[in-house]
């Protein structure tokens, strides 16, 4: 019996946007548990800034240029990693991009950009990864949604902070992520590929945390009375990537301090 439940040694993991505020913690936790992690992104400089002082930098954490807006870029990134590693086992779709946030002034172009960058990009990354993941012994796809893909925003939280208001295309696309995960969990189950979602709650970035009243508003919405820290979220990715979740698929793990449960 394998008792190394969370041991990811020998696993090759890909994470889009893995040098961002939440992605960095997930990347480091995967590497800590033994995985070789390729961070897919557009900026090698941001990657180096994030990880140059990490003990696993260049040993287990590597950069691969990839623009999730482009199918050709995704194919090229997967191809280069496949050549180096003879495959990969774990795909984490964490990156997104959008424009516009005012629900009254949002343009058609803003809407289309947000849906493309938050939902369509995940579809592209899944589609192109399937032929490689089928060859893995323990293939995993983990998609990142949001609490606003599960519940509507409480706009009272944003009354004094209109610049931080959550936009409508973001929540709509993140809700789509949950369904997309369920769809592919069903479709790919016979190939042994598990597909799950991690849904973060309030995890404002360091810059947003300077707005103390806004952070207080967010904290009051959770059962635990505080905002999330990146390390609060990282374990969910390790769990879903590991043998501990071998019989878990089509599920949405919500890490929100109880925001959506009450």
Q: Is 170 a catalytic residue?
A: yes
Which tokens go with 184? 């592919």
Evaluated on CA atoms 233, 208, 167, 28, the torsion sign reads negative
Whether the Cβ atoms of residue 230 and residue 198 lie closer than 8 Å to each other? no
Evaluated on CA atoms 232, 215, 116, 41, the torsion sign reads negative
Whether the Cβ atoms of residue 237 and residue 92 lie closer than 8 Å to each other? yes
Give φ, ψ of 185 to 5 degrees: -60, -40
Which residue in the block uniquely carries the two structure tokens 């609490």?
147
Q: At what angle do helices 230-241 and 21-32 cross, to 10 degrees?
A: 50
Strands 12-16 and 36-41: parallel
Evaluated on CA atoms 167, 180, 62, 113, the torsion sign reads negative
Which of 19, 78, 148, 170 is flagged as catalytic? 170
User: Can you tell me the distance from the alpha carbon of 132 to that of 109, in angstroms, rounded to the nearest whole number?
Assistant: 34
Which tokens go with 23? 């992605």
- Tell me the catalytic residues: 170
């Amino acid at each position: 019996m394998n008792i190394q439940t969370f041991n990811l040694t020998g696993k090759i993991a890909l994470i889009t946007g893995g040098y961002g505020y939440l992605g960095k913690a997930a990347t480091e936790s995967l590497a800590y548990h033994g995985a070789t992690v390729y961070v897919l992104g557009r900026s090698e400089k941001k990657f180096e800034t994030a990880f140059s002082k990490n003990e696993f930098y260049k040993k287990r954490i590597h950069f691969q240029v990839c623009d999730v807006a482009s199918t050709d870029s995704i194919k090229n990134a997967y191809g280069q990693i496949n050549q180096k590693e003879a495959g990969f086992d774990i795909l984490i779709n964490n990156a997104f991009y959008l424009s516009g946030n005012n629900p009254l002034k949002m343009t058609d172009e803003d809407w289309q950009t947000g849906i493309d960058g938050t939902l369509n990009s995940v579809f592209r990354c899944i589609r192109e990864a399937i032929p490689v993941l089928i060859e893995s012994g323990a293939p995993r796809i983990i998609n990142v949604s949001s609490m606003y893909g599960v519940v509507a925003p409480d706009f009272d939280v944003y009354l004094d902070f209109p610049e931080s208001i959550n936009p409508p295309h973001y929540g709509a696309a993140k809700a789509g992520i949950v369904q997309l995960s369920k769809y592919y969990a069903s479709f790919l189950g016979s190939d042994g590929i598990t597909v799950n979602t991690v849904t973060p709650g309030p995890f404002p970035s360091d810059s947003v945390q300077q707005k103390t009243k806004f952070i207080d508003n967010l904290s009051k919405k959770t059962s635990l009375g505080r905002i999330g820290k990146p390390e609060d979220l990282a374990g969910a990715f390790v769990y879903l990537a590991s043998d501990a979740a071998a019989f878990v698929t089509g599920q949405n793990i919500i890490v929100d301090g109880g925001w959506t449960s009450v």
